Homo-oligomer: A and B are copies of this chain.
Amino acid sequence: MTYDQLKQTALIQFAQLGYEGASLSVIANEVGIKKQSIYTHFKSKDDLYIQTFHEATDCEIDFVKQFIEDQESLQLREVLSKFLTEYLERFEKNNNMKFFMRTSFYPPVKHEEVIKAGSNRFVDRLESLFTALFEQYSDELRHDVTPETAALAFLTMLDGLLVELIYGIPERLQKRSKQSWSVFWRGISIESGEL
C-alpha cells in the first residue's frame, strides 16, 4: 500500500535529514509516485511529519514496555545489561528510533510543543517502568539507593550512551558502555567486592 510506503520512506528521510532537510519530491520519488500524489494521503508535509512522529512515539513506548514485560525470570543485573545492549543495537537497525531521537532532540520550531509533549510522554513512561523494575528487585540494591535513584541514574547513563551512538564510533561506544556499566553497577548494587 502506497500509504504505508510513504510513511516508511518519510520516516527514513526525516531521520536522516530532519524536517527541513527532507523533501517531498524525494520521498515521492523513492516510493515511485509523483510529489503531488502525496496529498492524496496526507494533508500537508506537516501532517505527514507529525503523524509519523506520533506513531514513532507509540512504537518506542511499546518496545520498552514489551521488553520489560518479557524479562520475568532473570536477575536484575542481567535484565539491565540485556536492555542496554539490545537498546543500543536497536538504534543501528531501527529507523523508528533514529527518527524519534532526532525529532525529540531538535524539533522544527513550529511543532516544538507537540513534539515536546510526545517525548515527555515517552520519558515519563520510561522512568516509571524502570522505577517499578528496581522496586521489584529492591533487595539487590544498596540500602542507601532508592529504586527511583537507580532508575534515573540508569536512564541517564543510557542517554549518554545514545549520544555516543549518534557520534557513531563503535569502539568508543564499546569502551564507554563497558566502563559506565561497571561504575553504575558498583554504585547501586549490594554485592560490592567484584570486578
Contact = CB atoms under 8 A, between A and B. Distances in A.
A168 interface: yes
Interface residues of A, number: 51
A153 B160 CA distance: 9
A175 interface: yes
Contact of A168 (B116, B142, B153, B160): B116
Interface string A135-172: 00000001011001110110111111111101111001
Nearest to A145: B183
A32 interface: no
A58 B30 CA distance: 40
A185 to B, nearest CB: 8
Contacts of A29: none
Contacts of A149: 179, 182-183
Given A21-B109, A153-B183, A157-B180, 16 more contacts: A17-B20, A18-B20, A18-B21, A20-B21, A21-B108, A104-B167, A106-B166, A120-B169, A149-B182, A152-B175, A156-B160, A156-B164, A158-B160, A159-B161, A159-B164, A184-B184
